[in-house]
Amino acid sequence: MRQPVAGVIPVVLVVPPIYPCGMPAVGVSILKAELEGRNILCRVVYVNMILAGMMGLAKYDDMCGMAMGDDLAGECAFSKCAYDLDGSVIPDNYCSQDDVARLKEKIGHSSGMGVSPEEWEHTEALCALLIDRATREIVALKPQIIGFSCILQQLNASIALARMIKRDLPETICALGGYNCEGAMGEEIADRGFFDYVFQGEADFTFVNFCTNYLCHGALPAERLIRCAPPEDLNSIPMPDYTDYFEQSRPFTLEQRIIPFESSRGCWWGQKHQCSFCGINSPTNRFRSKSAEKVFAEMESLDRDCPEGVAFFATDAICPTSYFTDLFPKIAARGFHREIFYEVKSNLTFAQLSAMKSAGIAKIQPGVESLSTRLLRLLNKGSNAGDTIRMLRDCRDLGISAFWNILVGIPGDKSEDYAEQARLFPLLQHLIPPILIPITIQRFSPYFEYSEEHGITDVRPVSGYYRAFPDVFDRMRLAMYFSAKFPSESRERPGILDLLIEHTRRWRLRWQKPPYPLLELSRLDDERWLVVDTRDCARESETVIDAPTYAVLEMHLTPRQREPFKEDERLDRLEELGHLVEIDGKLLTIVCGVKHIKTLK
């Protein structure tokens, strides 16, 4: 390799806005580790944190919240400085968003663009100042290669930076990579010529080889779009190097820093039965997982290096099933004393949840999406309402915080699907409440790839792409999120959601601060138990039950078919009190504190 020049960083990796300040970017941190493992100096520049410093962390966090919507507020904020124009206007004939816009308004989802013109102009001006300042800081490093991360709403900020940097360092290679470069999106970005190279797919080793070939031999690929072969063995990927993040985030007073770790890629469920709405399984994103030994070693290293108060966040789309027996017992025995987050399937057993809890996994996001079995089948979730509620109850029992969503505006939905959920919601008030989210068509999802099979027509980019990107782009190829027309009673008549929305509002209100609602059982003596009920729907605040009644609750810890023509006063009484609920013709105990005798001995 050429001799390094003093004060020069050959490779700079950029994390543009809009990206949260509370966690490092795992992809560029892996690239840094691999580059420096080959003796190539590299620095990760968190431009997002420069903007947070300019506007104040609280306002930047608000901006990140705005940018979570599919109106692309984050891209719009940098549109003006990326293209030297004011941005486009939504065409007059653009009307396919009307149904979902009404649905968002009904649910209470505020638009990221819903700020005053003065506030928005101030935000755009700050973004322009950021590009100027960040360009000066990056140019001062005299990099030969700059890689921009693009996984969220980071494209326009990357384009603005690349254009400015090229004015001062025209010979510097500017490359873009990340999930927004998958499929037709990456092809469209490459065709527009804002970047010298666009890396499509998992570039862990491809980008590092690219840097090595150029820095050592001056060799460059002939094609602008570089398609990366995904690593087969995730154990070969180095642990991310977060030193630049900790250095640059030191000035910020953050409530909590979240440190990502990666134990798998892709979705094992989606590889077999992809959820209808989910676009996570792009053409290059097959499921692979690291060995338990590799993950454990990385977590041990992170535990030593990270400051106190830092939580671990698994970037996995779904938890590998083998970890319940080979990884989590290892973590439980070691004890990291840190909060750990995982995304999981929504039908985990009590034993699996117990293994997670023992390992310190205190927060999970189960892919619930609905408490209607009919809608779950339409969504191809591979789950049912009864098992999902059982899992949510077990989470509360074990002290695991489960964060979950309810999708509305689903293709083929009926009013009765939401009426059934509205019946259940008041009874479940002692469990962590969900967030209602209108469904959006995502690229790579079955709803997008096989739209006609699902009765979906008039698929077009959501309106944010018309605000954020000029006509030079083919927005149909660029977009990740789409609006469409399809049969959906909740989109056509949003009023059918009124009761569900009201129950959700009350539910979330009860969980704003302690004491949280309870439906919990405790033992009084050998023959009696006490059920405390502080839900809004409680018939009795305290109920004493005997051993035979307790046995009924225990018998229905998992959904159990109701026996026809059999009368049982105890069972009827428990239903009347809302301690048992009927779901799909089966009865389920929703009281917390009933011992899982067959699982815990």
Given a contact cutoff of 8 angstroms between Cβ atoms, the answer to whether 33 and 246 are in contact is no
Given a contact cutoff of 8 angstroms between Cβ atoms, the answer to whether 320 and 290 are in contact is no
Say whether pLDDT at 529 is over 50. yes
- The alpha-helical segments, DSSP class H, found in 316-414 are 323-326, 328-334, 350-358, 373-378, 385-398
Domain 11-99+109-235 has CATH 3.40.50: yes
Structure tokens at 499: 């009761």
Say whether pLDDT at 47 is over 60. yes
Query: Which of 28-32, 309-313, 507-511 has the least mean pLDDT?
Result: 309-313
Say whether pLDDT at 600 is over 50. no
DSSP 69: S
d(CA 39, CA 569): 75
Per-residue burial over 129-152, b = 16 or more CB atoms within 10 Å of its CB, e = otherwise = ebbeebbeebbebebbbbbbbbbb
Average pLDDT over residues 514-524: 97
DSSP 450: T
Q: Mean pLDDT across the chain, nearest whole number? A: 92
d(CA 381, CA 378): 8
Instruction: Sheet containing 528-533: give its strands across.
Output: 519-523, 528-533, 542-546
Rounded percentage of the chain residues whose pLDDT exceeds 70: 92
d(CA 541, CA 518): 10
Rounded percentage of the chain residues whose pLDDT exceeds 90: 82
Given a contact cutoff of 8 angstroms between Cβ atoms, the answer to whether 60 and 21 are in contact is yes
Structure tokens at 525: 């003596």
* Count of other CB atoms within 10 angstroms of residue 181: 27
Which of the four pLDDT bands, split at 50, 70 and 90, describes residue 280? Answer: confident
Structure tokens at 570: 């105890």
Which of the four pLDDT bands, split at 50, 70 and 90, describes residue 92? Answer: very low
pLDDT of amino acid 283:
59
Note the pLDDT tens digit of each residue in 382-436. Answer: 999 999 999 999 999 999 999 999 999 999 999 999 999 999 999 999 999 999 9
Which of the four pLDDT bands, split at 50, 70 and 90, describes residue 15? Answer: very high
Q: Which long-range contacts (CB under 8 A, 24 or more apart) does 283-288 make?
A: 283/182, 283/183, 283/444, 284/182, 284/200, 284/201, 284/202, 284/228, 284/230, 285/182, 285/202, 285/230, 286/230, 288/230, 288/231, 288/232, 288/233, 288/234, 288/264
Structure tokens at 467: 């605000």
Instruction: Sheet containing 311-314: give its strands across.
Output: 258-261, 311-314, 340-344, 361-366, 401-402
DSSP 592: B
Which of the four pLDDT bands, split at 50, 70 and 90, describes residue 93? Answer: very low
Average pLDDT over residues 588-601: 74
pLDDT of amino acid 308:
81
* C-alpha distance across the termini of the chain, in Å: 62
- The alpha-helical segments, DSSP class H, found in 84-193 are 98-107, 117-139, 155-168, 183-192
Average pLDDT over residues 456-482: 95
d(CA 208, CA 239): 15
Note the pLDDT tens digit of each residue in 60-73. Answer: 988 888 777 678 98
